[in-house]
Structure 1
Amino acid sequence: MTDFTTQDGVRIFYKDWGTGQPIVFSHGWPLSSDDWDAQLLFFLHRGFRVIAHDRRGHGRSAQVDAGNDMNHYADDLAALTEHLDLRDAVHVGHSAGGGEVARYIGRHGESRVAKVALIAAVTPSVIQTADNPAGVPKAAFEGLQAQLAANRSEFYRAVPSGPFYNFDQPGVEPSEAVIANWWRQGMMGGAKGQYDCIDAFIEEDYSEDLKKISVPVLIMNGDADQIVPYATSGPRAVELVQHGELKTYAGLPHGMPTTHADTVNNDLLAFIQS
């Protein structure tokens, strides 16, 4: 198993395949690097070096009870890039992984970064406030934590069966294999880290991090996202980065890298090669 240990003693699992320009993928809650399989193979076969890690508390990384917050996630990502001595890297973040990428640049700069892609990301913020009326009420996130604590296995069947992939919407055909894979990834990780991660991605405001990004940024959002509402994500984020492009996908769900991998992969490739 490929891993490294952070300065605070946390073992982080990662995949590192191929050669060429590196593309680093940061996954969403409560998943793992496996959620990027369709992207990893697509870009590997097109001559890129692909890297994806399991966030602390998730997947095959250590199930620590401390440090499950966005600053530590960002520092772990920085430690990974330094461990592998990555240069001219493209960073791709989905959902909470988008917050991780933004905070990584906000804390560590972009000397190793060539471009950024944010997919259905929690940036700049997701919680409902006076400044973000389209956000999700805090009570909804507290409900997620309560369901996780009460019966994580059952909860991790309900989320992918419904809002994550829009399998609860008319005309959308559910995939049992996709649902089972989401459940598998979620149950691989630690309940404590995943519980804390909900606080990590909802309580943060990434506006100042986004303002520090001067490299090209592709922001990809489905307008039917039930997890991170469209109006609270892409349209706001693109106004904060210095060189951003927003691509809006009609009818696509939060889990679009899985359900619409061909579309996402080809648009990412065009952005990286531009």
Structure 2
Amino acid sequence: MPYFASPVDGARLHYADHGPATGPVAVFAASAYLGHDMCEHQMLPLAEAGYRCVGLDRRGHGRSEDTWTGYDLDTLADDLHGLLDHLDLREVTLVGHSVGTAEVVRCLTRHGSARVARAALVAGVSPGLVRSPGLPAGVDPAVVQADDEVFRRDRAAYFAASADDFFAVHRPGNEVSPEYVRHLIDRCLTATPRASNGVRAVVAGLDLTAELPTVGVPVLVVHGTHDTSAPVGLTGERAARLVPDGTLKVYENGGHGLFTTHAELLTADLREFLGPGTGRAAVPAGAERTGR
């Protein structure tokens, strides 16, 4: 099971590395509360198609070390870039979901694009959600504070109550099994309370309005019409307008969990964005690469 040390404080961070050693590389930055395995419906089929897919477990998430410090956007972006350095990855496509899009953007604006060829922002919270001078149309901070109090009181109940809206199950075609919902909630609860609340604070203070115009790589923005966690007009549409080279794809009936409900469509769009794969078979089950 591969790990690397955070370049910031040496925290032990877990990552997955699937697919062939050569060919286009996609590096996945997951949503809040979840590890890289939330991307199974993208990483596995892309790896089988000849793409190298690397997924990071954010500190305090998945199998990565729990830390008390480091839940600020600069540190999280440094952790992501540290993985690129650790594996000496080049011509990477960064793929972020939700808060992972903020880590992708900050990684690019903080470290440049020497290792990165393009970026995909999926159901992103970028440029920001909460009302501030730079985001006058954002959500009322008082609403966010009240939501935080509910979250702190009972995370398990919070996730269960949010699941239907997360997947927009009331919309046509968005069918997810109760077993899968239970699985995802269980995975969310593996994120430590400190990490969970730390990442929520990042989202509450997020405003990337001034940074997005400085992103110097092509950007694919994917968003759902019925994303209640990050409404498309506040996030995806604005992000696509702010980046110099942005393409917006809006999925009809898509919620925040479109990585599951619209898995095949998202995988196909990522594959097109990545370019041709090597056509090589995926690494056999159990064949783990470390230290590359």
Q: TM-score range by the shorter chain?
A: over 0.9
Indicate if the aligned counterparts of 1:116 and 1:216 stay in contact, CA closer than 8 A: yes
Bigger CA drift: 120-129 or 188-197?
Answer: 120-129
Aligned residues: 272
Distance in 2 separating the partners of 1:50 and 1:139: 39
Report the CA distance between 1:178 and its aligned residue. 2.5
Report the CA distance between 1:159 and its aligned residue. 2.1
Distance in 1 separating the partners of 2:175 and 2:258: 14
Aligned twin of 2:15: 14
Distance in 1 separating the partners of 2:183 and 2:73: 25
Distance in 1 separating the partners of 2:184 and 2:201: 20
Question: Relative contact order, CA 8 A, sep 6+: which one is greater?
Answer: 2
Distance in 1 separating the partners of 2:32 and 2:268: 24
1:16 counterpart SS class: strand
Aligned twin of 1:25: 28
1:248 to 247, 250, 272: 250
Give deviations 1:57-83, integer Å, cap 9, x for gaps.
111111111111111110000111000
Indicate if the aligned counterparts of 1:238 and 1:245 stay in contact, CA closer than 8 A: yes
Indicate if the aligned counterparts of 1:134 and 1:229 stay in contact, CA closer than 8 A: no
Distance in 1 separating the partners of 2:197 and 2:240: 29
The answer for unaligned runs of 5 or more in structure 1 is none
Q: For 1:100, give the aligned amino acid.
A: E
Distance in 2 separating the partners of 1:245 and 1:230: 14
Report the CA distance between 1:85 and its aligned residue. 0.4
Q: For 1:9, give the aligned amino acid.
A: G
Distance in 2 separating the partners of 1:95 and 1:170: 20
1:73 and 2:76 are equivalent in the alignment: yes
Aligned twin of 1:218: 220
Aligned twin of 1:153: 156
Aligned twin of 1:260: 262
Q: Percent identity?
A: 34
Report the CA distance between 1:132 and its aligned residue. 3.5
1:44 counterpart SS class: helix
Give deviations 1:165-200, integer Å, cap 9, x for gaps.
123x36554521231122121111111111111010
1:269 and 2:268 are equivalent in the alignment: no
Q: For 2:89, give the aligned amino acid.
A: L
Distance in 1 separating the partners of 2:134 and 2:36: 33
- Report matched runs for 1:170-181 at 5 Å: 173-181=175-183
Q: For 2:26, give the aligned amino acid.
A: I
1:118 counterpart SS class: strand
1:239 and 2:231 are equivalent in the alignment: no
- Report matched runs for 1:159-238 at 5 Å: 159-160=162-163, 162-167=164-169, 169=170, 173-238=175-240
* Distance change (3 Å), C-alpha of 1:141 and 1:218: same
Report the CA distance between 1:239 and its aligned residue. 1.8
Aligned twin of 1:122: 125
Report the CA distance between 1:100 and its aligned residue. 0.6
The two structures have a TM-score, normalised by structure 1, of 0.94
Report the CA distance between 1:113 and its aligned residue. 0.5
The two structures have a TM-score, normalised by structure 2, of 0.88
Distance in 1 separating the partners of 2:106 and 2:97: 13
Distance in 1 separating the partners of 2:253 and 2:122: 15
Pairwise CA RMSD: 1.7
Distance in 1 separating the partners of 2:86 and 2:206: 27
Indicate if the aligned counterparts of 1:57 and 1:68 stay in contact, CA closer than 8 A: no
Indicate if the aligned counterparts of 1:141 and 1:198 stay in contact, CA closer than 8 A: no
